[in-house]
Structure 1
Amino acid sequence: MNKLLPLPGRLLIPVLACCLPLAVATAAPVASARTFRTNAQPAAPITGRITDAKGEGIPGVTVLVKGTSTGVTTDVNGNFSLDAPEGAILVVSSIGYASQEVPVNGRTSVNLTLNNSDQKLDEVVVLGYVTQDRQNLTSAVSNVDIGGAKKAPAATITEAIQGRTTGVQINNSGNPGQNPSITIRGLGSINGGSAPLYVVDGLWTDNIRDLNPTDIEALTVLKDASSTSIYGSRGANGVIIITTK
């Protein structure tokens, strides 16, 4: 004769059966989270020094962990320090030097020598009353290729400039003895004039029509706020600096 379980025991069996799937579902995410933490690579401190071909430290070099926003810049001696995983790749770059990608490979110290790039950074620009290297210049300045103008003979200085630099518009009035209309980067004022300031061998002038293009050694066009900072309100429409031979 079969024995019947007491009433409390019969109610307990269905309750346990319902709780079993919940227990399995709850345990699964815990296992997944545990696996993720195990596979993640911890970041370790990495130090190093970036030098040039002469062995001197390069300041301001950007050292970036590839694929992330983690990065630093070198100090005045070219030293840097950052945290990166052992399998990371460091992207090292600086203006005037060829960029390099360096695998960490578990190292805690990375020293690197950057080579000069092929960019034209040794060009000298006449800026106001001084000359400055192109690599140290951040303003909108254009050097007109006077050598190219000599290959295509021009009767006036404006013909030598036209089409040889961006942002400069030249319109000839056609009237004898009148300066052509030169506009740099568009009109700055509706009612005011748009003519730029002309500086010939350090002297301000309003007349350049008598200049012989073959007598010009260098011609520089200042287009933005750098002209105003040097020449004041007279340079608000830009400045054309001419150096004769």
Structure 2
Amino acid sequence: MSGRLQDKTALVTGSTSNIGKAIAEAFAAEGAHVVVSGRNRERGKHVVEGIRAAGGQADFVEADLDGSADASRRLADEAREALGGRLDVLVNNAGIYPPGTTTTTDEKTFDQVYAVNVKAPFFLTADVAPEMARNGGGVIVNLGSWIARLGVPVGSLYSSTKGAMETLTRAWSAEFGPQGVRVNAISPGVIVPRAAEGGEPHPGEIMMKGTPFGTIGTPDAIAHAAVWLASDESAFVHGTVVDVDGGRVGAAVIAA
């Protein structure tokens, strides 16, 4: 790696597995001191140990982002403490995706998904962004989703929360950009962890047929984009949603 985040500090929510884990590992490999956060302490410790074994800096902060402002503020405070008092980069990655259609979703599930996917990052950003501005600037990267812009028969609740995050990305860019805080988002396509050798094809592959890439992506693809957005290389990028989806929402390949 090239040290693109050397001496930076970062908090990645929901980083004990999958996309969040890959982002935390990539940030640390580029020189950042990373706070790994999530509800599962054992998985968090495992991620931290892996980063440290590779020569990176990382700490774990346990957090249950239930949507309350208190939970978000508590995570922000504990992350800053672990990072020596300064937070340069926030990645709002944590989210939940319960199965179900509009007609099978009850009110409790609706409230829970919006609490975790929208309220928690909203109040975390409300705490972190002003502090970043006072410290001279910072970067916020939100996670959207390809199904926020391409309707599918299931997932209406989840997709609406990701649409909200993409809208907040633009709003926060206008609100905090003039204060030195850049806000952008990544819209992942169908992403799954790397399969073991000889493993069965993932069911998500069917959703990538007819796309330029042709198959599912891995968490590393999102991590590479996150590193770029967090680094000074993207200093002229504000309020943008970067599609990292194998061409899923932007192009169609017609088979001969």
Q: TM-score range by the shorter chain?
A: under 0.3
Normalised TM-score (structure 2): 0.21
Relative contact order: is structure 1 or structure 2 higher (C-alpha 8 Å, sep ≥ 6)? 2
Which one has the bigger strand percentage?
1
Normalised TM-score (structure 1): 0.22
Which one has the bigger helix percentage?
2
- Indicate the structure (1 or 2) with the bigger Cα radius of gyration: 1
